[in-house]
Structure 1
Amino acid sequence: MSHRYATFIKAINLSVDYVILNVSMILAYIIVDKSYIIWINNKNYLPIVLVFNLIWLLSANITRFYEQVLNKDSIKTFRGVFKTYLLFVSLICFTVLIIIGTKAYSITRQYLFYSLALFGFLLGVWKLVFLAIRRSDRAMLTDFRQVVIVGGGRIGNDLYNFITQNPERGYKIVGFFEDRVNEIDPDLYLGGVDECIQYVKDNRVDEIFCTLPNSEATKIERLMMDADKNLIRFKLIPEFYYTHKPTFVQNFGHIPVISIRPEPLENMLNRFFKRLFDIAFSVFIIVFVFSWLMPILAIIIKVTSPGPVFFVQRRSGRDNEAFNCYKFRSMQVNIDSDSKQATRGDARITKIGAFMRKTNLDELPQFFNVLLGNMTVVGPRPHMLRHTEEYSSLIDQFMVRHFLKPGITGWAQVNGLRGETKTTEDMLQRVQADVWYLENWSFLLDLKIIFLTFYGTIKGDKNAF
């Protein structure tokens, strides 16, 4: 349990922000509009309402604006407000002024100015009010619960250390119950296991955490039944758990099954939507970008260096199945292309190749890989077969990234973990980012990565060479 009210407060924040956004749009409509049509009956206005609301949701997700609303101090809160609002304004201006156009829905620049300015002002005022309320009532909102731990050893001590180091979880440990007295700090020892229930009843303890081993099944069952009889919440910690990261628990009937990592893309519906987006986005890029850019790049590549326009290389795909990965050729034809990574100042890279690699244009043909189904728009970057074989023996989690289709861009790339891997540590950081993506995938995360990829291309990446 974190704060009892954390989800509720997050929902309140989100709801009030949306109310402020829509009130700002209505007020701007009343100020600017001269047609005297009631705003809710104006068919030209309603689509813009939807656009504004969806873009605020996207912006807040990209900046993680609504995470830890009870814990962030005032500086972090307003920094988040500024970042999210700035991103929101940028996306609104790009969407309305460039993609949709102001004429399509009779949206004027004056209306945009008033609605965005009002929203920014009212949002800032509301966050000041929220911080003031939170400051006075934080103790009530935190709602600390008193708990005891039954059982010592590694598991009990791990749990004690975690709770004491993370007070935001809302728990306060009273002490331990354990039959083996020498395993517990004397200052925390409260008695034997049989004394637990009576102590909890007498001292208004809220919950019991049981860390006893499976060999103590009889004691665990008795504790569980006595806790239920006395309206005491009872929580059982499994004897084995993966110590390095959170786990994912499923129930097969009454049997708990612990997965060492969640995999959102194991859900068929998630895979369907990701694949649908892959096809739509790839078709868009191929039709509106690749179709006219490819002939230009092809001519320049052929003129500046002998060899084919496209570079085809076998790479590791999902389930470690090899596939042909397509790229625009950015190097001189050489015998080391399947074994040696590109390095900074690599003599093999042509002048047009350096430009393409810097701007990621050499990856454009991989949208055909996406259509063929052996790649996705966002995912772990595919490696040469030789590197897969080499690093799989050096990095324990290396092969985990192959649970997913490889991507044109990915979480590792937008976090600066791209380019040459000079050391095993460099590759380990990339693998960790890929595994994090596998465990935390969402459609909005994919949109965030695509946005950051375009932003990084415009801004420039020191590791792109």
Structure 2
Amino acid sequence: MIHRYATFIKAVNLTIDYIILNLSMVISYFIEDKSYISWISNKNYLPIVLVFNLIWLLSANVTGLYEQVLNKDSIKTYRGLIKTYLLFVSFICFTIIILIGTKAYFITREYLFYSLALFGFLLGFWKLIFLSIRRSDRALLIDSRSAIVIGGGRIGNDLHNFFKNNPSRGYKVIGFFDDNSESIIDKKLYLGATQDCISYVIANKVDEIFCTLPSSESAKIERLMLDADKNLIRFKFIPDYYDYGVKPTSIQSFGHIPVISIRPEPLENILNRFIKRVFDVLFSLFIILFVFSWLFPILAIIIKMQSKGPVFFVQARSGRDNKSFNCYKFRSMKVNNDSDSKQATRDDDRITKIGKFMRKTSLDELPQFFNVLIGNMSVVGPRPHMLKHTEQYSALIDKFMVRHFLKPGITGWAQVRGLRGETKTTEEMLGRVEADVWYLENWSFLLDLKIIFLTFWNAVKGEENAF
């Protein structure tokens, strides 16, 4: 993607961040300082201003905060901002409190707290404004480029459709070059054979070439690449392993051999797994101690009063690596023989009155926080399915088992997007699976927090598919 004002927007972000930083320091100065000396003429204060500004520049450079400001989504933007802010606070505390000392420049710990807290708040608010502006006006920041595609077939036509449906990418496909005109779906876009490509690009001042020829035509591809380089034409190649559904998001080199992962898995990183596990334990302990402890006896009494049977419902579910585990829930149905095979349906006569309320508010899932503490579930992840359903849908949906690379969760990306409740068709289950795989490939700690917030919000306002 080519952005016309990328450097300008980067400079604007940097400038406004510095204005916010210095404004926070000035405001904090007036709040804390009792000397009634103007901040601009206070010689003891100005060196601290310099330290703050230099350390923010250092922190931003370390984390790459201002790189690709127009490409990062909201989660990546805030994740980078939080990393930079925490690094900045650490450097400030170390530099001023430990190395310089607060007495040397008459800087109090209260001043440091006020200035850092105010800066963090204003910075977060400004980034929210920036993201809102960027979202509405991003099209104005895109520099459109003309392109031609060498090679028709599925890859070439898919690429054309992608650019057509995503104008924000900034590419306009003029047409196709291919030695076989029949491979071009839209005949009006056929421009000629591959040997005529370079001369056409030069004559019409086309910006870029996208080559989708198969690797079996390596001699032809190499010739086109050399000719493009000689004439200062940007040449991009789409490899034919695209046909296998591979998304080359991670490339490693084993010597001279490139190895491409078919999907990113952030939770394969041991640090990410550690962060997620620590959060799972702390969050589960909080819920168990401050919610489950007093709510359990109330729900237990009502459950026992409305129907015979145990308070808890225990069922074998599919977990990580497809290993089964006992999943705990508050019993929301009358005891029946179909619980291990039949899904709950709308107006299901097996559901008790209290069960209907618990399922609507997701309170029946509370005991699963013990599953999280044990370690066979996570707070956020794909919902665990009955063993029979895992066997059934794994035979119908190709990527169904991919979701089992992760621990199952009490809530998940599919659930907050409304993909919950009874799955009457394979297409409905496919929607869940796609959402779970997307979560697997795009996990971040901020995404988990977002899902937890949306889960609570949906529980408060009610969900149509929660029954």
Whether TM-score is above 0.5 comes out as yes
Q: CA RMSD in A?
A: 4.5
Matches within 5 A, 1:201-350: 201=202, 203-242=204-243, 248-253=249-254, 254-350=256-352
Given residue 239 of structure 2, which amino acid in structure 1 is its aligned partner? P
Contact 1:330 1:356 in 2 (8 A): yes
Deviates more, 1:385-394 or 1:161-170: 161-170
Residue of structure 1 in register with 2:449 after alignment: 447
Question: How far is the alpha carbon of 1:341 from its aligned partner?
Answer: 2.0
Residue of structure 2 in register with 1:4 after alignment: 3
Given residue 2 of structure 2, which amino acid in structure 1 is its aligned partner? H
Given residue 428 of structure 1, which amino acid in structure 2 is its aligned partner? L
Q: Cα–Cα, structure 1 residues 151 and 304, in superposed 2: closer, same or farther, change >3 Å? A: closer
Q: 3-state DSSP class of the match of 1:463?
A: coil
Q: 3-state DSSP class of the match of 1:148?
A: strand
Residue of structure 2 in register with 1:158 after alignment: 158
Q: 3-state DSSP class of the match of 1:172?
A: strand
- Deviation per residue, 1:286-314 (Å, 9 max, x gap): 22222333333334434443332222110
Contact 1:326 1:365 in 2 (8 A): yes
The reply on whether 1:167 has 2:160 as its aligned counterpart is no
Q: Cα–Cα, structure 1 residues 14 and 292, in superposed 2: closer, same or farther, change >3 Å? A: farther
Give the Cα–Cα distance (whole angstroms) in 1 for the partners of residues 124 and 401 of structure 2.
47
Long gaps (5+) in structure 1: 47-65, 71-79, 85-104, 107-111
Contact 1:249 1:256 in 2 (8 A): no
- Deviation per residue, 1:385-438 (Å, 9 max, x gap): 112122222333322221211100011111222222233333222222222222
Q: Cα–Cα, structure 1 residues 21 and 311, in superposed 2: closer, same or farther, change >3 Å? A: farther
Contact 1:401 1:435 in 2 (8 A): yes
Deviates more, 1:316-325 or 1:196-205: 196-205
Give the Cα–Cα distance (whole angstroms) in 2 for the partners of residues 419 and 220 of structure 1.
51
Count of equivalent residues: 404
* TM-score for both structures, normalised by structure 1: 0.71
* TM-score for both structures, normalised by structure 2: 0.71
Given residue 263 of structure 1, which amino acid in structure 2 is its aligned partner? E
Given residue 4 of structure 1, which amino acid in structure 2 is its aligned partner? H
Give the Cα–Cα distance (whole angstroms) in 2 for the partners of residues 294 and 34 of structure 1.
52
Residue of structure 1 in register with 2:385 after alignment: 383
Q: Cα–Cα, structure 1 residues 236 and 272, in superposed 2: closer, same or farther, change >3 Å? A: same
Question: How far is the alpha carbon of 1:131 from its aligned partner?
Answer: 10
Given residue 263 of structure 2, which amino acid in structure 1 is its aligned partner? R
Residue of structure 2 in register with 1:75 after alignment: none
Contact 1:401 1:434 in 2 (8 A): yes
Residue of structure 1 in register with 2:83 after alignment: none
Residue of structure 2 in register with 1:54 after alignment: none
Residue of structure 2 in register with 1:178 after alignment: 178
Contact 1:147 1:207 in 2 (8 A): yes
Q: 3-state DSSP class of the match of 1:241?
A: helix
Give the Cα–Cα distance (whole angstroms) in 1 for the partners of residues 127 and 404 of structure 2.
47
Q: Cα–Cα, structure 1 residues 432 and 165, in superposed 2: closer, same or farther, change >3 Å? A: closer
Matches within 5 A, 1:59-98: none
Give the Cα–Cα distance (whole angstroms) in 2 for the partners of residues 247 and 439 of structure 1.
12
Q: Cα–Cα, structure 1 residues 121 and 32, in superposed 2: closer, same or farther, change >3 Å? A: farther
Q: Cα–Cα, structure 1 residues 123 and 29, in superposed 2: closer, same or farther, change >3 Å? A: farther
Question: How far is the alpha carbon of 1:372 from its aligned partner?
Answer: 1.5
Contact 2:70 2:134 in 1 (8 A): no
Contact 2:145 2:172 in 1 (8 A): yes
Contact 1:279 1:370 in 2 (8 A): yes
Contact 1:401 1:431 in 2 (8 A): yes
Q: 3-state DSSP class of the match of 1:381?
A: coil
Residue of structure 2 in register with 1:58 after alignment: none
Q: Cα–Cα, structure 1 residues 41 and 434, in superposed 2: closer, same or farther, change >3 Å? A: farther
Q: Cα–Cα, structure 1 residues 387 and 127, in superposed 2: closer, same or farther, change >3 Å? A: closer
Deviates more, 1:352-361 or 1:195-204: 195-204
Contact 2:413 2:436 in 1 (8 A): yes
